[in-house]
Amino acid sequence: MIKSFSLFSALFLIFTTASYSQADRKLIREGNREYGKEKFSESEISYRKALDKNKESSVAVFNTGDALYRQKKYEDAGKQFMENHNMSEDKEKKSASLYNLANSLLMANKLEESIEAYKGSLKLDPDNMETKYNLAYAQDLLKQQEEQQQQQQQQKDQDKDKQDQKQDNKEQQQDQNKDQNQDQQQQQQSISKEDAERLLNALANDEKSVQEKVKLAKAQKARVRVIRNW
């Protein structure tokens, strides 16, 4: 679990004691009270009103990002923290902005970007244990994600190999069926030739038999005539 709330609270104590114009001071304090009551949407409105009074207020920019983060609007929160980082000259504040930016990126599942932001924060504040903890956490998440993606890719490749093998087996079976059909056709053609020869022989035998019958009939007729002539 990422650690963020304790740092946010500490930063509020730091920033709200900073000097800023009387016009936006009241709105920022009002936003802080709303934030403390977990009325994050209302606190965001107050901080944005403070920005309308003083666009150079890095405190209002940072706290707006904080309120957005609490509303799980991580992309918008990250933009505020990045803007605060660019506005600030103080190393501690710049480190805090990068830390919260990294948290926002982490919650948006942009792990590689969050890791870089944590590293940037640590360069400005090397002894911050919470940053070190969250950096290690993000790195572990990235490792798990990469391993999971690798496993998914391996499973995908295995499924593809199985599908290819299944297709090969299907094609082989089709080829075998084709060869069997050709053999059957050849056998049928061979049988047909044998049947044709038998049919021709039968016809020849029938014709021979008919001729013999005709000859016999003629012979019998001739004998009848001989008898009659006698």
Terminal Cα distance for the chain, rounded: 139
- Residue positions counted in the chain: 230
Number of domains, the chain:
1
111 within a domain of the structure (yes/no): yes
Q: How far apart are CA 188 and CA 178, in angstroms?
A: 15
Cβ partners under 8 Å of residue 105, min gap 6: 74, 78, 111, 113, 114, 117
**Confidence class for position 22, pLDDT limits 50, 70, 90:** confident
Structure tokens at 59: 């405190």
Provide the Cα torsion 18, 23, 28, 34; round to 10°: 150
Residue at 72 is within a domain: yes
Record the pTM. 0.63
Please check whether residue 169 lies inside any domain of the structure: no
Who contacts 124 (Cβ-Cβ below 8 Å, separation ≥6)? 91, 92, 94, 95, 98
Percent of the chain surpassing pLDDT 70:
75
Q: Kindly tell me the burial class for residue 164, based on how many C-beta atoms sit within 10 Å of its own C-beta (0-12, 13-18, 19 or more).
A: exposed
Neighbour tally for 44: CB within 10 Å:
25
In a domain, 208, yes or no: no
pLDDT at 66: 96
Q: How far apart are CA 59 and CA 15, in angstroms?
A: 6
Does residue 127 register a pLDDT over 90?
yes
pLDDT in tens, 80-110: 999 999 998 999 999 999 999 999 999 999 9
Top pLDDT among 192 and 180 is at 180
Q: Residue 74 domain-assigned? A: yes
> Tens digit of pLDDT for each residue in 189-208?
555 677 767 767 776 676 66
Residue ranges making up the domain that contains 97:
5-146
